[in-house]
Amino acid sequence: MIYTIIDVETTGKTNRITEIAIFKYQDGVVIDEFTSLINPQTPIPLNIATLTGIDDDMVADAPLFEEVAQKIINITENTVFVAHNVNFDYNVIQKEFKRIDLEFHRKKLCTVRLSRKLIPGHKSYSLGKLCKALEIDLVDRHRARGDAEATVKLFKLLHNKPNVDGVLLDFLKANSKEATLPPHLPKKVFESIPTQAGIYYFKNKKNEIIYIGKAKNLKQRVISHFYDKKQKELDLCRETADIDFELSGDELIALLMEDDAIKKHYPKYNQASKRFLNQYAIFTYTDRKGIIHFAVQKLKLAPKPLMVFHNLRAAYLFLEKICHQYKLCPKYCHLQENCNECNHYKIKTCGGICRDQESIVVYNIRVKQAVEHITQQNVSKVIKQPGRTPEEAAFVLIKKGTYKGYGFVDTELQITDESVLDFYLIPKKDNLDVQKILRSYV
C-alpha cells in the first residue's frame, strides 16, 4: 500500500493554504516528495505569521493553489492520505480544490488515532509532545515540511508495531469511522451513543463541556458534526475528547433539557444560544375616547404584559394574527402608525372603528375577546410525551402559564390528581427561550 503523508500551514481563521508538504511513502521508504509555499490571496494574520514564520512577503511570489493542484492530484493518486489530525489537513485541501471547481477524494488515515491505538498511555498526542516522548526529531515546527517529515518518522514507527496490519485494515474499511471521528475521541465512546432522543455534551481533554446539542437520534446528530466542513465544526471536533449524553424520550423534552444545560454550563461553542435577547411584550391600554389599544413594547416598559416574545418580529406576527382573527383595526393594534384610517397591506377585516363606522362598545367587545384568548394560553396544563423506555411516560408541567419543569413516570402509575406529578417533577426555571419552545410546540 502507498501512503502520502501530508501537512499544510494555513492563514488561520480563513484556512487558506500558505504551505504544503507531501511525502509519498511505500514499504518504509519515501519514494517522492513535494513541498511548496502557496499564495493564499488573502493577508496572513500577525499571530499566524509569528507562529509559522510565513508572512505576506514570503508568499507574494509563491504559486497559487490552482498552479500546484495537478501536482497534488498526481502525487496523491491511488494513495492513502495520512496526516496528524487528518480531517483538518484533508478538509482544508478539499476546500481549496472546490474553490477551483475540482473534486478531491482520497482514503484517509489519522496518525493521532493510530497512535492512540498502537501506543496507548501517552499524556498528549499532539505532534510536538508525542515526538518528544518518542525521541523523534522535529525540525522546523509549524512549517509544513518539518511537521510532515516528523509525521513520516512517527508513521514508520507505528508501521513497525507487531499488530499494525490488523489495525490498518480496520481503520481503512469503507464503513470504519476511524477517519471521520475527532482525533482525540475514542471509538468506543462514539459507539456507546444510542439512536434515541436526548441531549449530548462534547467535552475537551480537561473534561470541560464545550458544546451541547439535542437530537431525535443522538448518534446520527453527533456524527453529522464530524462531516460538517464549517470552520466552527472543525475547531469543535479538534477539541473533542469525550461525549456524554442524556436521554429525553422525545424532542420536546430534549429541547427543554438543552436550553437548561446551555444556560447552566455556557459552553464556548454555543455562542448563538448565549446571546442576550431583548424581550418584547404585548399589552393593552385605553385612550381618551375609550378605545382599547393593543401595543408592543420592550418588556421592561410594558405595563401588565399579556404575552412575552423573544424578538420584535415575533410579537408583531402574533399581533397580526390576533388582529385578523378578531377583526380588529391595524391602527389601534399599532400595526400602522400616523394614519387617520387603516389601510394595512394584509389585514382587510377592520370593522370601521377608525372611520367612525363602528361603535366603540362593539369594537371593545372584540378586543376583550382577544385578550381573553391570549390569557387562556396562561392556564395550567400537563403535556404528555413518550418516555425514555416503553415502560415510561414523560410530562411537561405548566402552572398558570409558568413552566415548572419535566419528569418521567411509570406508565402503570395511576394519576388521579396533577399534584401527584410534583413528586416526579424535575424542577426547572422558566425563561423566554423556554416559552418560545413551548409556544412553538403548542
Where do the structural domains in the chain lie, given as residue ranges?
A: 2-171, 187-274, 280-377, 381-441
**Mean pLDDT along residues 386-397:** 92
Instruction: For residue 177, give the nearest of 244, 229, 222, 212 by alpha carbon.
Output: 222
The pLDDT of residue 58 is 96
Mean pLDDT of the chain: 91
Q: For 187-274, CATH number?
A: 3.40.1440.10
Segment among 113-117, 149-153, 210-214, 373-377 with least mean pLDDT: 373-377
Mean pLDDT across 35-39:
97
| Interacting residues of 300 by C-beta distance below 8 A, sequence separation 6+ | 279
Cα–Cα dist 393/225, whole Å = 30
- The C-alpha atoms of residue 243 and residue 196 are separated, in whole angstroms, by 15
pLDDT of residue 425: 93
| Spatial contact of 23 and 4, defined as CB atoms under 8 Å apart | yes
Over residues 267-287, the pLDDT tens digits come to 999 876 555 567 899 999 999
- Cα–Cα distances (Å) from 74 to 4, 7, 81, 111, 231, in that order, read 11, 17, 13, 23, 27
Average pLDDT over residues 285-310: 92
What mean pLDDT do residues 3-25 have?
96
pLDDT at position 441, please?
Answer: 77
pLDDT higher than 80, residue 372: yes
Q: How confident is the model at residue 241 (pLDDT cuts 50, 70, 90)?
A: very high
C-alpha–C-alpha distance, residues 52 and 35, integer Å: 15
Structure confidence at residue 381 (pLDDT): 84
Mean pLDDT for 166-191 is 86
Mean pLDDT over residues 372-390, rounded?
86
CA atoms of 156 and 240, how far apart (whole Å): 27
Model pLDDT, residue 116: 92
Mean pLDDT of 210-218: 96
User: What pLDDT does residue 135 have?
Assistant: 94
| Cβ neighbours of residue 122 closer than 8 Å, sequence gap 6 or more | 115, 129, 130, 133
Q: pTM for the complete prediction?
A: 0.67
pLDDT band per the 50, 70, 90 thresholds, residue 307: confident
CATH class in words for 2-171:
alpha beta
**What gap in Å lies between CA 158 and CA 366, rounded to an integer?**
78
DSSP summary character for residue 64: B
Sheet (strand 198-203) strand order:
209-215, 198-203, 242-247
Question: Looking at residues 214-239, what average pLDDT do you find?
Answer: 91
> For residues 244-279, b (16+ Cβ closer than 10 Å) or e, as one string?
ebbbbbbbbbbbbbbbbbbbeeebebbeebeeeeeb
Is residue 232 over pLDDT 70?
yes
